[in-house]
Amino acid sequence: MNYLAHLFLAPNDPQQQLGGLIADFTRGRLETLAEHYSEGVIQGIALHRQIDRFTDEHRWVIQSKVRFSKEYRRYSGIILDILYDHFLSCYWTVYSELDRAGLIQEFYRLLIQEQVCLPPRLKTLIPRIVDEDWLGSYHDLDLLGQVYQRMSARLQRTNPLGDAIVEVRRLYPQLSDDFKRFFPELVTFSQQQQRVLSQT
């Protein structure tokens, strides 16, 4: 769900960038997945998993989750995943000199070019990801409300996600501050893991 963050944190390598997205659509051991994907894709999947683990256990992310009222706390991970892409988009120039829109469009072209190699569920989503500009549209806070509503409808049990934007607006300054403390540490961790993976 935080596709922009994983693209940003991936090395400047198309296969690893693909792996960073494919990771959300695959399960199982890397050794098994290596029978179907290139070494670069596998490294991207491995990095994605390490980033997710680091994020879930990070003190500032945990702090953000605790800020949510009881009604939303169970879904705080989903809410934050999407919100972090919004924050990254808004504060992009703090963390990168690259052109955000250009990077996203280049990645969309890569997805279209490589779609035959993608997992079936991801392959069917490519037209929507590109047409609806999933990686770029989270910049607009109003659109996040629509994203939360779609997420809510996809879950089988009754849930409050459809109204999560109200909670996000209430907590926005605090959650933004948590992100600004957390994200530089995530960038450093990602760079360290890239060096480790490149040596394996």
- Per-block average pLDDT, block size 10, for the chain (200 residues)? 92 95 94 94 96 96 96 94 95 95 97 93 94 91 90 88 95 98 97 87
The reported pLDDT for the residue numbered 156 is: 82
Q: Is-above-0.85 flag for pTM? A: yes
Contact 7, 107 (CB under 8 A): yes
Contact 147, 47 (CB under 8 A): no
What whole-number distance in Å separates Cα of residue 50 and Cα of residue 6? 11
Residue 189: count of CB within 10 angstroms of its CB? 17
Could you tell me where the DSSP H helices lie in the chain?
A: 3-9, 14-22, 30-33, 39-57, 59-67, 70-73, 76-90, 92-95, 100-113, 120-131, 134-137, 141-154, 164-198
Give the range of the structural domain holding residue 159, as residue numbers without chain letter: 3-198
Which of helix, strand or coil describes residue 163?
A: helix
Q: Please give the tally of structural domains in the chain.
A: 1
What whole-number distance in Å separates Cα of residue 12 and Cα of residue 144? 28
What whole-number distance in Å separates Cα of residue 191 and Cα of residue 152? 34
Q: Write out the DSSP string of 57-71.
A: H-HHHHHHHHHS-HH
What whole-number distance in Å separates Cα of residue 58 and Cα of residue 23? 20
- What is the 8-class DSSP label of residue 23? G
Residue with tokens 């996000």: 168
Residue 37: count of CB within 10 angstroms of its CB? 21
